[in-house]
């Protein structure tokens, strides 16, 4: 864009007394109705150009179409381009001449229309620069033979207004693109929700999958990431991170969860997905079993949700469906699971929180250590007799002996049920 200094240089009187001419290489020529302005007021120059706005619009449209292939290839007729060009020139010259105030609506229309038609923003801004060049050339002709002191002020104000219009057009262009992205995301989420809600044998599921650019056959999994109300959205930015691992995914956020449909091509990709999810888990995350067609996403979503419930509430874990059989059975029947915990461990659960958690933690570690009091004592850094005492305390309260396989199985299942119900260490 020309600077004030460069525009001022163009206004220096010609050495041989000849009239001021347009810049070298200009293709502009005065219109048939073009006359010198007998005034030293820069607004008079602008008013004279406003009279010629139709001719200016025609000239500028021609320069735009021949000077920028993006416009020539756009789905915009010459008549439509002439209309928006004339509207912008009129608004600019009216403001420059003082006959009207600031009016950016024509520039806003330009930015939005060009974004909708796919004209690059660089081409839009280039058109405004061509408009400035044309107006400057015509201003030089209109002011020839008069007081040229009006030109610096006219040029400075003209380029300021053009900069204002360019900024308004660029803002409208960006706003349209942002709206389109939001609208596209909304439509994708709506289609994904329909995919989750549909049945595998519904033929419309194939159409939805095709609209989401999903292959008809592949290896897919559904991820269900639980979140608490008011918490940060789980797995924020995971789509970009998975793409870096060559895994495409589509996500939607709903109250209490973020749900994703992932296309995992190989078993190795599946393992990378689980690893990536574990490194970014902030709550319970469930992963379905792999399935071959997008139409089975509804069943897989139920699997992923159940898998997430196989971990205690509030824990940052990733659980694949089927990897924890007993918690999975309990997650299928949460009410019966809670009743089981109360029936078997009721007296322990009614203890003060500190004593309750000490006994439950000891029992859980005892199962992890294969029933070895010695190993539990080593890991907790207590004497073996302390572990023996705690286990006897549980046996007395529950009327179940740890040495009895049937009773031990009931204690094990009840312990998992209590954990899933939210009984965690204080």
The predicted structure's pLDDT at residue 245: 87
Mean of the pLDDT values across residues 325-336?
93
Handedness of CA 170, 173, 177, 180 (dihedral sign): positive
The residues of the chain that CATH labels 1.10.10.2840 are 334-420
Task: State both tokens at 364.
Answer: 């859980």
Domain 206-331 maps to which CATH number in 3.30.479, 3.30.70, 1.10.287, 3.40.1350? 3.30.70
Alpha-carbon distance of 194 to 197, in angstroms, equals 5
Tens digit of pLDDT for each residue in 265-323?
888 889 999 999 999 998 999 999 999 999 999 999 999 999 999 999 889 999 999 99
Cβ neighbours of residue 212 closer than 8 Å, sequence gap 6 or more: 188, 191, 192, 195, 250, 294
The residues of the chain that CATH labels 3.30.70 are 206-331
Q: What is the pTM of this model?
A: 0.61
Q: Kindly report the CATH number that applies to the domain delimited by 4-177.
A: 1.10.490
Give the HSE-up count for residue 326: Cα atoms under 13 Å, Cβ half-sphere.
13
Task: Transcribe 210-221 into DSSP letters.
Answer: HHTT--SSS-EE
The residues of the chain that CATH labels 1.10.490 are 4-177
Pairing mode, strands 248-254 and 220-226: unpaired
- For the range 273-278, what are the long-range contacts, defined as Cβ-Cβ under 8 Å and sequence gap of 24 or more? 273/221, 273/223, 273/242, 273/245, 273/247, 274/318, 274/320, 276/238, 276/241, 276/242, 276/245, 277/223, 277/235, 277/238, 277/318, 278/318
State the fold for domain 334-420. Answer: Arc Repressor Mutant, subunit A (1.10.10)
Tens digit of pLDDT for each residue in 358-397?
999 999 999 999 999 999 999 999 999 999 999 999 999 9
The predicted structure's pLDDT at residue 190: 87
Give the HSE-up count for residue 303: Cα atoms under 13 Å, Cβ half-sphere.
22
Alpha-carbon distance of 106 to 85, in angstroms, equals 9
The predicted structure's pLDDT at residue 143: 79
Q: For residue 262, what are the β-bridge partners?
A: 221, 249
């Amino acid at each position: 864009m020309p600077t004030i200094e460069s525009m001022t240089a163009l206004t220096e009187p010609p050495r041989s007394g000849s009239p001021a001419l347009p810049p070298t290489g200009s293709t502009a020529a005065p219109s048939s109705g073009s006359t010198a302005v007998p005034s030293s007021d820069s607004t008079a120059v602008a008013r004279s150009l406003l009279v010629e706005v139709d001719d200016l619009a025609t000239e500028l449209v021609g320069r735009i179409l021949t000077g920028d292939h993006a416009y020539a290839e756009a789905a915009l007729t010459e008549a439509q381009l002439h209309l928006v060009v004339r509207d912008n020139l009129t608004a600019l010259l009216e403001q420059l001449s003082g006959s009207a105030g600031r009016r950016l609506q024509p520039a806003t229309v330009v930015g939005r229309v060009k974004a909708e038609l796919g004209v690059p923003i660089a081409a839009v801004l280039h058109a405004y620069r061509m408009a400035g060049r044309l107006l400057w050339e015509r201003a030089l002709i209109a002011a020839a033979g008069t007081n040229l002191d009006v030109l610096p002020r006219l040029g400075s104000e003209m380029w300021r207004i053009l900069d204002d219009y360019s900024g308004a057009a660029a803002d409208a262009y960006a706003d349209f693109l942002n709206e389109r992205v939001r609208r596209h995301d909304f439509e994708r989420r709506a289609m994904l929700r329909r995919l989750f809600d549909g049945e595998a044998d519904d033929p419309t599921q194939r159409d939805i999958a095709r609209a989401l650019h999903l292959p008809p056959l592949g290896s897919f999994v559904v991820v269900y990431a639980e979140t608490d109300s008011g918490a940060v959205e789980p797995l924020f930015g995971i789509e970009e991170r998975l793409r870096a691992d060559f895994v495409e995914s589509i996500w939607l956020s709903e109250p209490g969860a973020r749900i994703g449909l992932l296309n995992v091509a190989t078993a190795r990709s599946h393992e990378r997905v689980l690893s990536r999810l574990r490194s970014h888990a902030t709550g319970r995350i469930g992963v379905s079993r792999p399935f071959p067609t997008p139409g089975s996403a509804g069943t897989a979503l139920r699997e992923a949700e159940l898998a997430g419930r196989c971990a205690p509430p509030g824990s940052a874990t990733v659980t694949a469906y089927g990897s924890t059989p007993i918690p999975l059975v309990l997650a299928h029947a949460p009410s019966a699971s809670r009743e089981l915990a109360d029936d078997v461990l009721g007296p322990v659960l009614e203890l003060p929180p500190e004593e309750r958690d000490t006994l439950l933690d000891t029992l859980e570690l005892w199962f992890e250590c294969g029933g070895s009091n010695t190993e539990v004592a080593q890991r907790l850094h207590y004497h073996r007799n302390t572990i023996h005492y705690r286990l006897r305390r549980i046996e007395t309260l529950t009327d179940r002996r740890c040495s009895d396989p049937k009773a031990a199985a009931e204690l094990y299942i009840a312990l998992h049920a209590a954990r899933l119900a939210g009984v965690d260490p204080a």
